[in-house]
Amino acid sequence: MNLLKLRTLLQSFLLEDIGDCDLTSSAIFPPDEVGKGVFIAKADGVISGLQIIHEAYQLLDNQVKVECFYKDGDQVNAGDTIAEVHGPIVSILGGERVILNLVQRMSGMASMTRQCVDTLNDGSIQLCDTRKTTPGLRMLEKYAVVSGGGKNHRSGLYDGVMIKDNHISFCGSISKAVASVRENIGHMVKVEVETETKEEVLEAASAGADVIMFDNRNPEEVREFVALVPKHIVTEASGGITLANLAGYADTGVDFISLGFLTHSVTSLDISLLVR
């Protein structure tokens, strides 16, 4: 994760939650009273976002000491102590909710990604995310996918060309769209084209696409389409692929499978901060 961006995000999130002060904690505890808390996993899963615990407490109060017992991408089980914090109670409690919200969400995404990797059970195919992320949290959510064993698709509209159905409809054809892009971008930028038919796959390959995506195709169609694509062009399957049917895409020969649900509809991993 970009450390500067992470700190900026955390500062904004902490200010949103704490405002001028934590009224409850500051009314009960003197600022110099210290205590210890532990972050406990309450369900089995894959942990992600541990750096957030350290950076959030550094922003709040550098007197809070953090010790993590796992690293991102590790499997944890219900009852495991993930991290321990020691320092002023007001500061420990002030950062609790923001930290838990983020680490629980990221760990849920890492856990789902790992489940998908295990379900597919095909080391020749990489699973990746999409741009279907929570506004403001994309960096964190894409990091969580990597923690779970996945890969990242483009980070945004700015770092890769993806010619989709609406681009093609407005432009008139895949060939025209690719030619226009090639005239206006540098040689370092990859060009991906979304396709739905054999004819579109062949046109995209002929037009010089770097990546061809097969949209909403079943495993049999993906196998058929992969056979049409020259080996130097990367292939991707996306759309209509769920955890329930993912295993059927094993051995299709496709290079990547992108899954929007890795970030837009997962259950957070249950984690609590308990006083010791």
- 139-164 pLDDT per residue, tens: 999 999 999 999 999 999 999 999 99
Given 7, 132, 151, 182, the catalytic residue: 132
Q: How far apart are CA 126 and CA 151, in angstroms?
A: 7
Given 164, 176, 198, 276, the catalytic residue: 164
Q: Where along the chain do the CATH 3.20.20.70 domains lie?
A: 119-264
> Given a cut of 90, is residue 276 above it in pLDDT?
no
The pLDDT value given to residue 273 = 97
97 in active site: yes
Contact present, 28 and 94 (Cβ < 8 Å): no
Given 215, 221, 224, 270, the catalytic residue: 215
pLDDT in tens, 252-273: 999 999 999 999 999 999 999 9
The pLDDT value given to residue 113 = 98
Which DSSP category does 249 fall into? G
- Mean pLDDT score of the chain: 97
Q: Which helix (DSSP H) or strand (DSSP E) does residue 219 occupy?
A: helix 219-226
Question: Distance of CA 155 to CAs 133, 143, 152, 260, Å?
Answer: 10, 11, 7, 13
Q: What is the mean pLDDT of residues 35-56?
A: 98
Q: What is the largest CA-CA distance in the chain?
A: 71
183 in active site: no
Share of the chain above pLDDT 70, in %: 100
Q: Which helix (DSSP H) or strand (DSSP E) does residue 70 occupy?
A: none
Q: How confident is the model at residue 15 (pLDDT cuts 50, 70, 90)?
A: very high
Q: Where along the chain do the CATH 3.90.1170.20 domains lie?
A: 3-117+267-275
Q: What is the mean pLDDT of residues 207-230?
A: 98
* Of residues 219, 239, 214, the one with CA closest to residue 130: 239
Q: What is the mean pLDDT of residues 42-48?
A: 98
pLDDT in tens, 170-187: 999 999 999 999 999 999
Share of the chain above pLDDT 90, in %: 99
Q: How confident is the model at residue 227 (pLDDT cuts 50, 70, 90)?
A: very high
The pLDDT value given to residue 120 = 98
In 3-state terms, what secondary structure has residue 106?
helix
> Given a cut of 90, is residue 132 above it in pLDDT?
yes
pLDDT in tens, 57-103: 999 999 999 999 999 999 999 999 999 999 999 999 999 999 999 99
Q: What is the mean pLDDT of residues 97-126?
A: 98
71 in active site: no
Assigned CATH for 119-264: 3.20.20.70
Question: Does the domain made of 3-117+267-275 have the CATH classification 2.40.110.10?
Answer: no
Other Cβ atoms less than 10 A from the Cβ of 136: the count is: 11
Please count the residues of the chain. Answer: 276
Given 96, 141, 192, 194, the catalytic residue: 194
* Of residues 164, 157, 161, the one with CA closest to residue 189: 161
